[in-house]
Amino acid sequence: MIRMKINELLGDRSHYWLAKATQLEYSVIRNLASQRSQRITYSTLDRLCDALTCELGELLVKVPEGSIP
């Protein structure tokens, strides 16, 4: 299973800040950060990496099935 590390990469910044920085809806950021999204586009991944100044491998991590709360 793939997990997004948005919360870890945000540091002291908020989901609201990330929504503004990526020009994505706050609800999209919240769903991605809480692992409730079923799909994501390449452009969204690109925006997230740009805003968080990270590489894709830092944003996404593969974890064992069932370990995501």
pTM: 0.89
Give me the pLDDT at residue 68, please: 61
Give me the pLDDT at residue 44, please: 97
Domain count, the chain: 1
Domain assignment of residue 57, yes or no:
no
**Domain containing residue 34:** 2-52
Domain assignment of residue 65, yes or no:
no
pLDDT of the chain along its 69 residues, tens only?
Answer: 899 999 999 999 999 999 999 999 999 999 999 999 989 999 999 999 999 999 999 999 998 887 665
Domain assignment of residue 29, yes or no:
yes
Give me the pLDDT at residue 69, please: 57
Domain assignment of residue 36, yes or no:
yes
Buried b / exposed e over 36-61, threshold 16 CB at 10 Å, is eeeeeeeebeebbbebbebeeeebbe
SS3 of 62, please?
A: strand
Give me the pLDDT at residue 65, please: 82
Domain assignment of residue 59, yes or no:
no
